[in-house]
Amino acid sequence: MNAEIQLQFPKPGEWREFTLTAIYQDAGGYRPPARYTADEIPAEQAPAMQAVVAALVGLAEDWQAVQVWARLNESLIDAQPSVAETVNLTVEAVNPQGGRRMFTARDYPVFVLTDPDAVAFFKHFAAA
Query: How many domains does the chain contain in total?
Result: 1
C-alpha closest to that of 59 among 28, 99, 114:
99
CB 30 within 8 A of CB 64: no
Give me the DSSP letters along 52-67. HHHHHHTS-TT-EEEE
Q: Residue 30 — pLDDT band, cuts 50, 70, 90?
A: low
CB count within 10 Å of CB 31 equals 13
What radius of gyration, in Å, describes the C-alpha atoms of the chain? 15
Q: What is the pLDDT of residues 46-84, one digit of tens each?
A: 888 887 887 887 777 788 899 999 998 877 666 667 788
Give the pairing of strands 82-94 and 64-77: antiparallel
Question: In whole angstroms, what separates CA 93 from the centre of its chain?
Answer: 13
Structure pTM? 0.83
CA angle, 110 as apex, 5 and 11 as ends, to 5°? 55
Q: Domain residues for 100?
A: 3-125
- The percentage of residues in the chain with a pLDDT greater than 70, rounded to a whole number, is 93
Distance CA 127, CA 121 (A): 10
